[in-house]
Structure 1
Amino acid sequence: MHLPGMATAVRTTAVGGLFAAALVMVPGGATSAVAATDYEMPFPCGQVWKGTTRANHSPSSKAIDWNRVDDVGDPVVASAPGVVTTADTVDNSGYGRYVVIDHGNGTDSLYAHMQTVAVKVGQRVDQGMQIGTVGSTGNSTGPHLHFEERTSRTVVAPYLHGVKFVFGSSPTSANCVDVPVAAKWLSRRTAALSVYRRNTVAEYRIRRPDGSTLVKRLGTSTDEPVVGDWEGNGVANPGVWSPATRTFSLQIGTRRTSIVYGATTDKPVAGDWDGDGAWEVGLRRPSTSTFLMRSATGVTRSVRLGDANDLPVIGDWDGDGASDLGVYDQTTSTFTLRKVDEEGTVWLGTIRFGSAGDLPVAGDWDGDGRTDLGVWTPTTATFTQRFATSATTAKARSLTTVRFGNRR
Structure 2
Amino acid sequence: MPRACRRPGLCAALTTGVLSVAALSVTAAPGHGAAPAVGFEMPFPCAQSWTGTTRSGHSPSARAIDWNRADDDGMPVVASAPGVVATAVPGGTRGYGRYVVVEHADGAQTYYAHLSAVSVVKGQSVDQGALLGRVGTTGNSSGPHLHYEQRAGGSVAEPWFHGARFVMGSTQASQNCVDVPVAGNFLGDTTAELVVYRRAERATFEIQRPGTAPKVLRFGTATDQPVVGDWDGDGRLNPGVRSPATATFSLRMPSGLQQVVLGAAADVPVAGDWDGDGRWEVGVRRAVDGVFRLRAPDGALTDVPLGDLGDLPVTGDWDGDGDTDLGVYDVASATFTLRRVDDDGVAWLAQVAFGSGDDLPVTGDWDANGRTDLGVWDPTSATFTLRQAPEPTAARADTSSVSFGRSR
Which TM-score applies when normalising by structure 2? 0.92
Residue 406 of structure 1 is matched in structure 2 by 406
Q: Does 1:23 align with 2:19?
A: yes
Instruction: Report the equivalent of 1:214.
Output: 215
Q: Following TM superposition, by how much is the alpha carbon of 1:325 offset from its aligned partner in structure 2, in angstroms?
A: 0.4
The question of whether the paired residues in 1 share the 8 Å contact of 2:374 and 2:392 is answered with: no
Task: Give 1:13 shift.
Answer: 10
List gaps (5 residues or longer) in structure 1: 1-10, 17-21
Please give the secondary structure, in 1, of the residue aligned with 2:173.
Answer: coil
Judged with a 3 Å threshold, the aligned counterparts in structure 2 of structure 1 residues 342 and 108 are, in CA distance, closer, same or farther, namely same
In the TM superposition, 1:333-344 aligns within 5 A as 333-344=334-345
CA distance in 2, matches of 1:84, 1:12: 24
Encode CA deviations 1:133-169: one digit per residue, 9 max, x unaligned: 0000000000000000000221000000110000010
Output one character per residue of 1:32-84: Cα deviation in whole Å (capped at 9) or x when no partner.
Answer: 98891111000000100000000000000000000011111100000100000
Task: Report if the CA contact (8 A) 2:13-2:356 is conserved.
Answer: no
Cα distance in structure 1, aligned partners of 2:323 and 2:151:
45
What's the counterpart of residue 146 of structure 1?
A: 147
Structure 2: runs of 5 or more not aligned:
1-11, 28-35
Q: How does 1:289-300 map to 2 (within 5 A)?
A: 289-300=290-301
Q: Which residue of 2 aligns with 1:229?
A: 230
Amino acid in the other structure paired with 1:49 = W
| Greater mean alpha carbon deviation, residues 84-93 or residues 170-179 | 84-93
Measure, in 2, the Cα distance between the counterparts of 1:237 and 1:32: 42
Aligned runs of 1:77-96 on 2, under 5 Å?
Answer: 77-96=78-97
- Taking the aligned partners of 2:355 and 2:163, their CA distance within structure 1 comes to 26
For residue 359 of structure 1, report the CA deviation from its aligned partner.
0.2
- Kindly provide the amino acid, as one letter, of the partner of residue 263 in structure 1: A
Trace 1:2-401 onto structure 2 (pairs within 5 A).
15-16=16-17, 22-24=18-20, 36-253=37-254, 255-390=256-391, 393=394, 395-396=396-397, 398-401=398-401
Question: Distance between the aligned counterparts of 1:79 and 1:131, measured in 2?
Answer: 10
Per-residue deviation, 1:322? 0.4
- How much is the aligned-residue C-alpha RMSD, in angstroms? 1.9
> What is the rounded CA distance, in whole Å, between the counterparts of 1:284 and 1:12 in structure 2?
26
**2:33 match:** none
Residues in 1 aligned to 2:77 and 2:269: alpha-carbon distance in whole angstroms: 19
User: Hey, what's the Cα distance between the residues in 2 that align with 1:61 and 1:193?
Assistant: 45
2:31 match: none
In structure 2, relative to structure 1, the CA distance for the partners of 1:391 and 1:121 (3 Å cut) is closer
Shift of 1:93: 2.6
What amino acid maps onto 1:370 in structure 2? R
Q: Distance in 2 between matches of 1:333 and 1:165?
A: 33
Aligned equivalents of 1:285, 1:260: Cα separation in 2: 14
Work out the CA distance in 1 between the residues paired with 2:21 and 2:317: 21
Whole-angstrom distance in 2 between the partners of 1:25 and 1:119: 29
CA 402–25 in structure 1, closer or farther in 2 if over 3 Å, else same: farther
Q: What is the CA distance between 1:254 and its match in structure 2?
A: 5.6
Aligned length: 389
Contact kept, 8 Å, 1:183 with 1:192, in 2: the verdict is yes
User: What secondary structure, in the 3-state scheme, does the structure 1 residue paired with 2:299 have?
Assistant: coil
Is the contact made by 1:15 and 1:25 (CA closer than 8 Å) also made in structure 2? no
CA distance in 1, matches of 2:342, 2:182: 27
Partner Cα separation in structure 2 for residue 158 and residue 209 of structure 1: 40
Q: Equivalents in 1 of 2:49, 2:289: separation in Å?
A: 36
Taking structure 1 as the reference length, the TM-score comes to 0.92
Alpha carbons of 1:151 and 1:298: their partners in 2 closer, same or farther (altered >3 Å)?
same
Distance 2:45 2:301 in 1: 32
Structure 2 letter corresponding to 1:401: S
CA distance in 2, matches of 1:244, 1:25: 38
The residue that corresponds to 2:5 in the other structure is none
Q: Distance in 2 between matches of 1:123 and 1:12?
A: 23
Q: CA deviation at 1:91?
A: 2.1
Paired AA for residue 399 in structure 1: T
Q: Distance in 2 between matches of 1:306 and 1:187?
A: 33
With over 3 angstroms needed to count, the CA separation of the structure-2 counterparts of 1:382 and 1:249, relative to structure 1, is same
Partner of 1:6: none
Rounded to whole Å, the distance in 1 between the matches of 2:60 and 2:15 is 51
Distance 1:269 1:216 in 2: 20
Q: How far does residue 262 in structure 1 lie from its aligned partner after superposition?
A: 1.1
Deviation of 1:390 (Å)? 3.1
Amino acid at match of 2:288: S
Partners of 1:183 and 1:219 in 2: CA distance: 18
How many angstroms apart in 1 are the aligned matches of 2:157 and 2:315? 40
Partners of 2:318 and 2:47 in 1: CA distance: 39
Deviations 1:356-396 (A, max 9, x none): 11000000001100000000000000000101123554510
Structure 2 CA distance for partners of 1:329 and 1:394, relative to 1, 3 Å: closer
* Secondary structure at 1:105 match in 2: helix
Q: How far 1:12 moved relative to its partner?
A: 8.6
Secondary structure, counterpart of 2:116 in structure 1 = strand
Amino acid at match of 1:405: G
Structure 2 CA distance, aligned partners of 1:12 and 1:136?
Answer: 44
Secondary structure at 2:49 match in 1: coil
Superposition deviation, residue 89 in structure 1: 1.1
